[in-house]
Amino acid sequence: MIEIIPAIDIIDGKCVRLSQGDYNSKKVYNENPVEVAKEFEAHGIQRLHVVDLDGAASHHIVNYRVLEKIANHTSLLIDFGGGVKSDDDLRIAFESGAQMVTGGSIAVKDPSLFCHWLDVYGSEKIILGADVKDYKIAVNGWKDESACELFPFLEDYINKGIQKVICTDISCDGMLKGPSINLYKEMIDRFSNLYLMASGGVSKIDDIVALNEAGIPGVIFGKALYEGHITLKDLQIFL
């Protein structure tokens, strides 16, 4: 059964969503992310994906106090990403209550540091963020496209011990037009032992059903929940 992972994206301490990573498309859904997290937990959700969008834009962790509050007021298993660029950032994230940390841009720009984290903390705690556009990895809060091709990038890190990957197809993210199921199937076909979390484009419960049927281990989504296209009651079949 696919793992259900709602997302809370944070700007200025508030729960927001963007479209295709465009900060100008910001829409605030709740002034208090802790309330959102507690509601998820009350409906049987066990896992949460928290993204510090301010951190992603400023290249260092910013909204760790929000992470801390969510961790202190819920028992949710939290993976955290956005702006984790140094040993200090990583330490702050874990000390603030994250059980797992996702590294995306850092894995492209400073692979030796990312591999050091993987060696020190292990593959259960370090997640690879593979945000893609046209099969190329995007960095810096999706503002820049790197020269890294998706599949060689994944293969390299899997060989180095990575087991968990969050993959967001940027062209789908926040658009509510459906996820890139073919892309995710291709990834699972190539790397059958990968714990892949699909992210971006989920618009209705049928999208999650399709990802589950395709054998995708986890799904991260937010806008469809916040816009009411998927209700927490709808998710009960997966919980």
| Nearest to 196, CA basis, from 117, 110, 128 | 128
Classify domain 3-238 at the CATH class level. alpha beta
Contact 226, 8 (CB under 8 A): no
Q: β-strand 77-81 against 100-103: which pairing, if any?
A: parallel
Sequence ranges of the domains in the chain: 3-238
| pTM of this structure | 0.93
| Nearest to 108, CA basis, from 136, 148, 80 | 148
Note down pLDDT in tens along the chain; length 239 residues. 999 999 999 999 999 988 877 888 889 999 999 999 999 999 999 999 999 999 988 889 999 999 999 999 999 999 999 999 999 999 999 999 999 999 988 999 999 999 999 999 999 999 999 989 889 898 765 555 667 899 999 999 999 999 999 999 887 766 678 999 999 999 999 999 999 999 999 999 999 999 999 999 999 999 999 999 999 999 999 99
Residue 124 backbone phi and psi in degrees, to 5? -75, -25
What pLDDT was estimated at residue 174? 63
Q: β-strand 14-19 against 22-30: which pairing, if any?
A: antiparallel
Enumerate residues 6+ apart whose C-beta is below 8 A from 7.
48, 49, 50, 51, 199, 220, 221, 222
Catalytic residue list: 9, 131
What pLDDT was estimated at residue 140? 60
Distance of CA 53 to the CA centre of its chain: 11
What pLDDT was estimated at residue 169? 87
What pLDDT was estimated at residue 59? 85
- Rounded distance, CA 76 to CA 74, Å? 5
